[in-house]
Structure 1
Amino acid sequence: MTDDPDRRRDLAHVGPVELYTPVLEKSRDFFVNQMGLREVHRDATSVYLHTWDDYQSWTLRLIQRDTAGVGRTYLRAASPQALDRLKDAAKAAGLHRGVVTDARDLGEVHLIADPDGHELGLYWDVDWYAADDTDRPALKNQAAAYPGRGANLRRLDHVNYLTADVPRTAAFLRDTLGARCTEQIVKDDGSPQAIWYSLGNKSYDLVYTEDWTGTRGRLHHLAFATDTREEILRAADVCLDAGVHIETGPHKHAIQQTFFLYVWEPGGNRIELCNAGARLILAPDWKTISWTREERAKGQAWGLKTIESFHTHGTPVVPIQNG
């Protein structure tokens, strides 16, 4: 699979994300105390958090719900004209769900749905983060001061969803959003089982993995970037001291070569910490890299076998039926 270098890129990047949690304050404390985010606003049922170098006014909204999972993911268009093109493409595909204007510090948001029912919000207008005296950076090309706390997460990196229909989702990412597939896992028949899609020059922004339960609309993990591997190593100790469940890592992926640590925040959602120095896709005619079952059986880049829960745990949790 080769990307069309003449294709216009109408999406700039993944914007803020909503995360559901049944334990709002515990999840808030995890992200603030262990991950290094800053609380910037709250209402009766949610808390807004900011990573220190996100130019936008907020990065993550934690929402009180009975079960964990992912809410709306916002995607910023590359221009007002690009937003119009994306809106029209979503309408043509029958995936446009209307317009809202009540998303915090965002302008007009066009709601769409992927084939699995995950809600996405397309936007252009956005309020930029305004640091105050408590977090004003010395360098004015930085959104906020380095927190020096916990994992010191710099920015949101990517979202990994679970999907019941990988091929249909791949077509949506390609045809409606104009994203390009950089890597994929293929089954024995050549059909995709997991897909990594890039919106710009990052190696990937949106990932979809086949949901073994056949359920729609679930989350595999939300990923945040640090500056260095050393901060991920330190984060493992921070999580150990705080009693946070460390699922796997620190280690290095074979696919996309990301240095990683996976933990579960108190609400049950899987959170990945990854290094911000991950690969860039600079080739305009990048050819999709495909990984087979035999290649994946070798484990991660340095031989660590993928643990079972990485394949089975998603949010909301689906009870396993016996028999």
Structure 2
Amino acid sequence: MKTEPNFDTAQLAHVEIFSPKPEESLHFFKNYLGMEESYRQGQSVYLRAYEDFYHHSLKITEAKEPGMGHTAWRASSEQALERRVNAIKQSGYGQGWSEGDYGHGPAYQFLTPDGHNMEILWEVDYYQAPEDKWTPLLNRPQKRPTRGVPVRRIDHVNLLASDVTKNKEFMMDQLGFKLREHIALNNGQDGAAWLSVSPLVHEVAFMGDQAGGKGRLHHICYWYGYPQHLSDISDLLTENGYQIEAGPGKHGVSQANFLYVFEPGGNRVELFGDSGYLIFDPDWKPISWKEEEIEKGIIWYGAPLPSEYFKYGTPVIDKKIPSKS
């Protein structure tokens, strides 16, 4: 008998990244990806894409080295938050409550089995556009920005892990994530796993950390909507000296058009030109890519990913941080 589906976790709310070059990182996200600054507090700046409905979807915090500060999930109700907190407490990975942050209320903080910092919350502040950014398109939070090639919304976070299977099972058992696709290694373990709580193919992914680290960030991802925008941003980034790691191309997993670039602080950013396919089937059977099928799963078309794509993450392990050339 199948376990009753759990819909207590609703969506990815925001991600915090650390940057040793906060002003340069801010310039990248605002002037090339067209993101909006919502607030500044201490060593942190809060940003959002123009179709993000919440106060912010990205928090950039000054730090000595790059990496992920935390990932935040929104529960589907106040009661759902309480249920997920109890489940996380029972798992032994709970860290306790915070009073909240600018843009949201109290949040329960926890770790993944690999040590990634996460939190789950319910109360959020919705973005209210000032008069100069108001749009008559009432189902859009604000006008489309005129800076750079503006991204539309946050899409997902990809995390490196020493044990993909253990982290995958934690997200499924404690937070209700559904496994959408995975790479099934010949030894019975997962080489990578893509999971979601919505029709998106993934809001979180775990990849095996080939550099031997734990709890590191592989990339954050923002969605454009049209593949043409990947070509447009490629021109803009190349002309201004930013390091494009790979793409534009298309993944087999998720069927998404992609571009990978390093923001000045050293964190990898993925840009989606298409959201791939959506999943509405309540009895979805996870797609399993075998080891001999990985090549097409990773790259459906386009140039192969460089070897460092599978090793580099933040914080950095014995590797110079990629930077603006």
Normalising by the residue count of structure 2, what TM-score does the alignment of the two structures yield? Answer: 0.94
1:225 to 220, 223, 226: 223
Question: Shift in Å at residue 121 of structure 1?
Answer: 1.1
Q: Structure 1 residues 5, 176: closer, same or farther in 2, change over 3 A?
A: closer
- Counterpart of 1:21 in structure 2 is 19
Q: Distance in 1 between matches of 2:142 and 2:114?
A: 36
Q: Which amino acid aligns with 1:251?
A: G
Aligned-residue offset at 1:156: 0.6
1:263 to 261, 264, 285: 261
Contact 1:23 1:64 in 2 (8 A): yes
Q: C-alpha distance in 2, partners of 1:198/1:130?
A: 28
Q: Could you tell me which of 187, 205, 208 is aligned with 1:207?
A: 205
Question: Alignment RMSD, CA only?
Answer: 1.5
Where does residue 149 of structure 1 map in the other structure?
Answer: 147
Among 77, 83, 86, the alignment partner of 1:85 is 83
Q: How many positions carry a matched residue from both structures? A: 318
User: What fraction of aligned residue pairs are identical, expressed as a percent?
Assistant: 35
For the pair 1:169 / 2:167, whether they are aligned, the reply is yes
SS of match in other structure, 1:176: helix
Of stretches 66-75 and 95-104 in structure 1, the one that deviates more from structure 2 is 95-104
Judge conservation of contact 1:31–1:37 (CA < 8 Å) in 2: yes
Shift of 1:297: 3.1
- CA separation in 2, counterparts of 1:202 and 1:36? 23
Rounded Cα–Cα distance in structure 2 between residues aligned with 1:34 and 1:296: 33
Q: Is contact 1:5–1:285 with CA below 8 Å preserved after alignment?
A: no
**Aligned position for 2:232:** 234
Q: How does 1:234-313 map to 2 (within 5 A)?
A: 234-298=232-296, 300-302=299-301, 304-313=303-312
Helix, strand or coil for the counterpart of 2:115? Answer: coil
The match for 2:322 is none
Give the AA of the match of 1:310: Y
Give 1:277 deviation, angstroms: 3.6
Which is worse superposed, 36-45 or 75-84?
36-45
Distance 1:5-1:175 versus aligned 2 partners, 3 A rule:
closer
Give, in whole Å, the separation in 2 of the partners of 1:44 and 1:82: 32
Picking from 130, 134, 143, the partner of 2:128 is 130
How much has 1:190 moved relative to structure 2? 2.6
Distance 1:12 1:24 in 2: 30
Amino acid at match of 1:305: P
Partners of 1:83 and 1:122 within 8 A in 2: yes
Counterpart in the other structure of 1:195: 193
Structure 1 unpaired stretches of 5+: none
SS at the partner of 2:132? coil
Alignment partners' CA distance in 2, 1:149 and 1:17: 22
Give 1:158's aligned residue. Answer: 156
Most deviating of 177-186 and 305-314: 305-314
Which deviates further from its counterpart, 288-297 or 174-183? 288-297
How far did 1:88 drift? 0.6
- Residues 33 and 149 in structure 2, CA contact (< 8 A), matched pair in contact too: yes
* Residue 198 (structure 1) shift: 0.9
SS where residue 239 of structure 1 aligns?
A: helix
Equivalent pair of 2:97/2:107 in contact (CA under 8 Å): yes
Q: Are 2:32 and 2:233, in contact at CA under 8 Å, matched by a contact in 1?
A: yes
**Partner-residue secondary structure (3-state), 1:134:** helix
The C-alpha deviation readout for 1:152-172, integer Å capped at 9, x for no partner, is 111110000001111111110
SS of 2:123's equivalent in the other structure is coil
Aligned mates of 2:3, 2:249 — CA distance in 1: 33
The answer to whether the 8 A contact 1:9-1:200 is kept is no
Query: Does the aligned pair in 1 maintain the 2:257–2:274 contact within 8 Å?
Result: no
Q: TM-score, normalization: structure 1? A: 0.95
5+ unaligned residues in a row in structure 2: which ranges? 320-325
Q: What SS class does the counterpart of residue 297 from structure 1 fall into?
A: helix
Note the alpha carbon deviations across 1:90-109, whole angstroms, 9 max, x for none.
01101111111131121110
C-alpha deviations, 1:122-162, integer Å up to 9, x for none? 10111100100231122121111111322211111000000
Query: Against the structure 1 CA distance between its residues 225 and 303, is the aligned structure 2 distance closer, same or farther, given a 3 Å change threshold?
Result: closer
Distance 1:48 1:248 in 2: 27
Change in Cα spacing, 1:5 to 1:225, as seen in structure 2 (3 Å) is farther
What stretches of structure 1 move > 6 A for 4+ residues in a row?
none
Task: Give the Cα separation in 1 of the matches to 2:286 and 2:261.
Answer: 29
- Which amino acid letter does the alignment assign opposite residue 301 of structure 2? W
Helix, strand or coil for the counterpart of 2:135? Answer: coil
Q: Which amino acid aligns with 1:44?
A: G
Q: Which has the larger displacement, 81-90 or 37-46?
A: 37-46
CA shift digits 1:243-276 (9 cap, x unpaired): 1100000010011100000000000100000035
Kindly indicate whether residue 61 of structure 2 is the aligned counterpart of residue 63 of structure 1. yes
